[in-house]
């Protein structure tokens, strides 16, 4: 083995200050409800297409992901030029920042929200401006609007929000967008949109009427492809989409990922995937009600997880769940996010949560 050395190579100071992205833990024998994944394996139809793509793995993928972008463009009624695909939509978050923010520019977002935002912002050399959620965990949009400065280049709005599950209604989002200067790019991160069963969601077509909006979606959650890494952006302005494509790594979306995404959008396959989403939504109602019944405060969720604002008790509660064989996602001092899974796994979680309720509920 070669020797390990300590160099005098200067590393960017931004890196030392980065919060680490904490992936959901995987513990052998435990149920993992920590990463908002689909509990179901790939459908046979999707696996078959993946296998074909694997066999052709000696060839580079289509760098422009044209076939996938054409299907997506057709769905949104936009031009192929308005679509960008990425290695998960988390990559697109980074590409968006790199496309519009120079060193020191501001990236504004409600907080707490997706934990990748502060990390990617810092890696890009931009500056995070975080606007606290209200005490009831809803967005404080007035404060976000007040937070816009001449240096603001990007605003991230995650709806439904990870990890709180709250979603913005169409009138709320419309009013917000009306009041943001059109020189600021607004990223509407819709990673969980398929689980939002409220009636007044702002439709993509209405969002895309606004020149400074870009939507982000992913195949990782409702479409169950988290391990294959593919997401996409739809921009109102094709210039913005082109810039987002420019900042991506060449060939970042593998042949396998493109094939799986295309297979998932075929009507008979998608119908099965959306039936799974409906099951999760039904289970979310059951899990929330049962948690409340045993004494927990549960935020109303529009996503595939529930949020328990446990405050100072969070880490201890998560440990109690882990001791019971269920891995949840704690945010120390704030709350815990628990993915809604199959009825069987949810039952197991509910048992553990009920046992812990005597100690932790009502906080």
Ligand X SMILES: *Cc1c(COP(=O)(O)O)cnc(C)c1O
Residues near ligand X, by CB under 6 A: 36, 88-90, 114, 158, 162, 189, 191, 218, 220-221, 226, 231
- Which residue is at the shortest CB distance from ligand X? 88
| Nearest approach, Cβ of residue 8 and ligand X (Å) | 35
Closest C-alpha to 101, from 208, 236, 240: 240
| Nearest approach, Cβ of residue 95 and ligand X (Å) | 12
Strands 152-158 and 329-331 come out as unpaired
Burial code of 56-77, b = ≥16 C-beta within 10 A, e = fewer? eeeeebeeebeebbeebbeebe
| Nearest approach, Cβ of residue 308 and ligand X (Å) | 17
Q: In the complex with ligand X, which residue's Cβ is closer, 220 or 247?
A: 220
Q: In the complex with ligand X, which residue's Cβ is closer, 176 or 192?
A: 192
Per DSSP, 221 falls in state S
Q: In the complex with ligand X, which residue's Cβ is closer, 158 or 256?
A: 158
DSSP string, 142-159: HHHHHT--TTEEEEEEES
Per DSSP, 299 falls in state B
| Nearest approach, Cβ of residue 362 and ligand X (Å) | 28
| Nearest approach, Cβ of residue 249 and ligand X (Å) | 14
In 3-state terms the chain splits into helix, strand, coil percentages (rounded to 5) of: 40, 15, 45
Q: In the complex with ligand X, which residue's Cβ is closer, 191 or 356?
A: 191
Give SS3 for 94. helix
- Rounded Cα distance between 289 and 178, Å, is 36
């Amino acid at each position: 083995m070669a020797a390990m050395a300590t160099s005098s190579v200067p590393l960017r100071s931004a890196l030392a200050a980065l919060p680490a992205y904490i992936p959901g833990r995987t513990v052998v024998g435990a149920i993992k409800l920590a990463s908002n994944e689909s509990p179901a394996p790939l459908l046979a139809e999707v696996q078959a297409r993946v296998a074909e793509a694997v066999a052709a793995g000696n060839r580079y993928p289509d760098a422009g992901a044209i076939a996938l972008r054409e299907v997506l463009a057709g769905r949104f009624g936009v031009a192929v030029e308005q679509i960008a695909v990425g290695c998960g939509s988390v990559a697109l978050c980074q590409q968006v920042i790199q496309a519009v923010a120079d060193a020191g520019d501001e990236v504004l977002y409600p907080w707490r929200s997706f934990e990748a935002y502060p990390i990617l912002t810092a890696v890009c050399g931009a500056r995070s401006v975080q606007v606290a959620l209200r005490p009831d965990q809803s967005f404080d949009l007035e404060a976000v609007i007040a937070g816009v400065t001449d240096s603001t280049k990007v605003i991230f709005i995650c709806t439904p929000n990870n990890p709180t599950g709250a979603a913005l209604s169409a009138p709320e989002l419309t009013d917000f967008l009306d009041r943001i200067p059109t020189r600021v790019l607004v990223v509407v991160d819709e990673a969980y949109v398929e689980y939002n069963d409220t009636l007044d969601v702002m439709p993509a077509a209405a969002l895309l009427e606004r020149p400074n909006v870009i939507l982000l979606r992913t195949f990782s959650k409702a479409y169950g492809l988290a391990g294959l890494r593919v997401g996409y952006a739809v921009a109102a302005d094709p210039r913005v989409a082109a810039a987002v494509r420019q900042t991506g790594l060449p060939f970042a979306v593998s042949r396998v990922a493109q094939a799986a995404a295309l297979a998932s959008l075929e009507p008979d396959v998608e119908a099965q995937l959306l039936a799974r989403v409906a099951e999760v939504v039904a289970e979310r109602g059951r899990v929330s009600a049962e948690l409340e019944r045993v004494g927990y405060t549960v935020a109303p969720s529009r996503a595939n997880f529930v949020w328990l604002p446990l405050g100072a008790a969070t880490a201890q509660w998560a440990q109690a769940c882990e001791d019971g064989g269920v891995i949840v996602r704690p945010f120390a001092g704030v709350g815990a996010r628990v993915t809604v899974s199959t009825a069987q796994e949810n039952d197991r979680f509910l048992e553990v949560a009920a046992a812990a309720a005597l100690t932790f509920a009502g906080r």
